[in-house]
Structure 1
């Protein structure tokens, strides 16, 4: 009992400390003072998780400030076990740590709540991601892709390098989720500006916290406006069909979660897919000539290999448990590395390598269990639409700077800041 009380007090202190940093707008140097151990989860060596992460045992102690107890889980089987066990591990991080917080400024959506609240909210979103709804979206997505590829072709038509991040990856991902949510151009522009900084732990100002708060504030404004005039997208449908049972804060949280997941993670996967096409001619040939089955396998391997969402939502242990030979106490923070689990040798042969003809196996790029990404199929539809078209339209695509592979520094969602390519092969 005393250990649990001490852990809860440490949790309150940890969240208060982060709130204090947020309120005062501390600069990036604050984040650099956290233990190096914590950064291992989000560092990369080129396209690969750093050796310090991959070489760890499946479950190890995670050093955190204020003597707060934490565990890092990197093994494939162990990560699946944690993500599947909502009875032992809670996603209600703020509530379980006992930290007071203004609800309207917390990251909302599905990732930070448990059943039955999670069940209630997810049930309202499931109809938006059914096979039929995604089939209806297919022509729209293909049109967005073709428009972006036309832009790429125009910019690189004279033999100049063209960057696939701002001219293909982000337009496709942001336009798709923007239309799905029912955002107008002005709201689209504001939210696009706020999206990237929220995942960057070394950014200026208050880092991710200020961007999260500003984005949720903006979504709250959108919801209030759509209470009066519901739009054609998901936000408008939630207002029309469930407006009496959902608060503005709940709708804003759901929309914010879908926006950030639909933009940043999908854009990063598209950009990384473009990089692989431009640097691996054999892989590009598989995508161009493999037919529908080859496209599906290529996309699944890209999702596993890139693991753009590097870390699952943190969990708090509700009871004592044993995992990978480590004893877990109630109140422990448990952090699962999706990138390490997807590269675990126990996943399959040559897990460290990109193999588009790999035999199908369930990867963890979208998480697992109750909190598996609800937008997983939408992301697959976008990747299947854009990457084969890129490979076919520009068969001589190659990297403009083949030796340059620099990922975002200390970001929960991994991505390349730029993917400069030449369209004619040179």
Structure 2
């Protein structure tokens, strides 16, 4: 490996301290080198950590999601996509005009009415999961609650039949966990095949779930193709399920460590505001997915060459003292408006309302049933996933206090 440029951070800088407490590393970067070249497992990227730069970058059309936009026009058509199908058809991999068309059609099916109708079902799912927890031994909150709740919700939303959910959960677990590449590829192909079959079924026999809504969505004679519908379902699974599970886990950890903040779960009037502050404080995704510079440009006074990849750290931005007063403190009374936990601009998370709804229900149900809930051991005993995208313990043992 060549010597790093001055001020650069190589993968060696991401030691165990980063995986345990990424905010300390991100805060140091934000203060001393807010736009710096780093090396992730996927390769070199420019890491952007200041709020103003991150928010501007999230809406900057010169930072494309499809790497082919960095190529000369005559080379783009023949260049392969950066991701295999159907992932190359996901909203998060597209730029206008393809992104504009797809998001417009998807929004027709992903309505507030559809999400609101899920509330009673999510409440029932949460209560059922909590009722099944043993009260006389430590319980892994990740495996027994934070992961299965959003998984069941996604299955309900998409319309996955009850009999198929075990396989569906297995494929999603492989995609979300850090598994070997052959296993990831196999699970991705199996999931895509399954969803393709489900789309074909719903074309002939529609129901009230999201897949049928996506099939029916049209505008000026345009409809979503089967591969676009499959890609949307996979995106919901990988982005919505994983980040919601991470957010629920880290929110519970934060509330157990802060009794004053935890008191906000006891009132329906304060829960939405508390969840909003938690979104800022424990951002579900630490870093947005890669973007690519389509021309030479500057970010925060730093030159970024055309073709370079750029990582916008939403987690670092949400704790920027230039935007939020005393940002390292969890403050339920704060107005965290403007946080970028769900991104900003045309790629702002389509499922933001669903994440909020699930978190409000999950936290309320958990602390209502187990008011004496506590961690089963010190935070130092937890092991964390080695992910640059999310910060999450692999397990989180708790005592229910029953």
Equivalent pair of 2:69/2:294 in contact (CA under 8 Å): no
Change (3 A) 1:298 1:122: same
Match of 2:128 in 1: 147
Q: Give 1:375 shift.
A: 0.3
Equivalent pair of 1:316/1:332 in contact (CA under 8 Å): yes
2:362 matches 1:386 = yes
Match of 2:389 in 1: 412
In the TM superposition, 1:205-224 aligns within 5 A as 205-206=181-182, 208-224=184-200
Q: Give 1:274 shift.
A: 2.2
In the TM superposition, 1:314-333 aligns within 5 A as 314-333=290-309
Could you state the TM-score of these two structures normalised by the residue count of structure 1? 0.80
Q: Give 1:368 shift.
A: 1.0
Could you state the TM-score of these two structures normalised by the residue count of structure 2? 0.85
In the TM superposition, 1:49-88 aligns within 5 A as 49=22, 51-56=24-29, 57-63=33-39, 70-86=45-61, 88=62
Q: For 1:279 and 1:204, locate their aligned partners in 2 and report how far apart those are by CA, in whole Å.
A: 35
Q: For 1:44 and 1:212, locate their aligned partners in 2 and report how far apart those are by CA, in whole Å.
A: 32
Q: For 2:137 and 2:40, locate their aligned partners in 1 and report how far apart those are by CA, in whole Å.
A: 47
**Structure 1 unaligned spans of 5+:** 1-34
2:21 matches 1:48 = yes
Structure with greater proportional helix content: 1
**SS of equivalent to 2:311:** strand
Q: What number of residue pairs does the alignment pair up? A: 382
In the TM superposition, 1:253-332 aligns within 5 A as 253-289=231-267, 291-292=268-269, 294-332=270-308
Equivalent pair of 1:82/1:89 in contact (CA under 8 Å): yes
Change (3 A) 1:189 1:385: same
In the TM superposition, 1:178-197 aligns within 5 A as 178-197=155-174
Q: For 1:179 and 1:105, locate their aligned partners in 2 and report how far apart those are by CA, in whole Å.
A: 22
Change (3 A) 1:335 1:302: same
Deviation sequence 1:148-206 (CA, Å, 0-9, x none): 22123xx12xx311222222212221111111111113443223222244345x53344
Q: Give 1:211 shift.
A: 4.1
Equivalent pair of 1:278/1:421 in contact (CA under 8 Å): no
Q: For 1:357 and 1:263, locate their aligned partners in 2 and report how far apart those are by CA, in whole Å.
A: 28
| 1:117 corresponds to which of 95, 98, 101 | 98
Q: 135-144 vs 211-220, which deviates more?
A: 211-220
Q: 188-197 vs 249-258, which deviates more?
A: 188-197
Q: Give 1:340 shift.
A: 1.7
| 1:100 corresponds to which of 68, 73, 80 | 80
Q: Give 1:360 shift.
A: 2.8
Q: For 1:286 and 1:253, locate their aligned partners in 2 and report how far apart those are by CA, in whole Å.
A: 38
Q: 36-45 vs 302-311, which deviates more?
A: 36-45
Q: Give 1:268 shift.
A: 1.3
Change (3 A) 1:94 1:147: farther
Equivalent pair of 1:169/1:270 in contact (CA under 8 Å): yes
2:133 matches 1:133 = no
**Structure 2 unaligned spans of 5+:** 1-7
Q: CA RMSD in A?
A: 2.9
Equivalent pair of 2:286/2:389 in contact (CA under 8 Å): yes
| 1:374 corresponds to which of 314, 325, 350 | 350
Q: For 2:320 and 2:305, locate their aligned partners in 1 and report how far apart those are by CA, in whole Å.
A: 26
Q: Give 1:44 shift.
A: 6.4
Q: For 1:224 and 1:36, locate their aligned partners in 2 and report how far apart those are by CA, in whole Å.
A: 48
**SS of equivalent to 1:259:** helix
Q: Give 1:253 shift.
A: 0.6
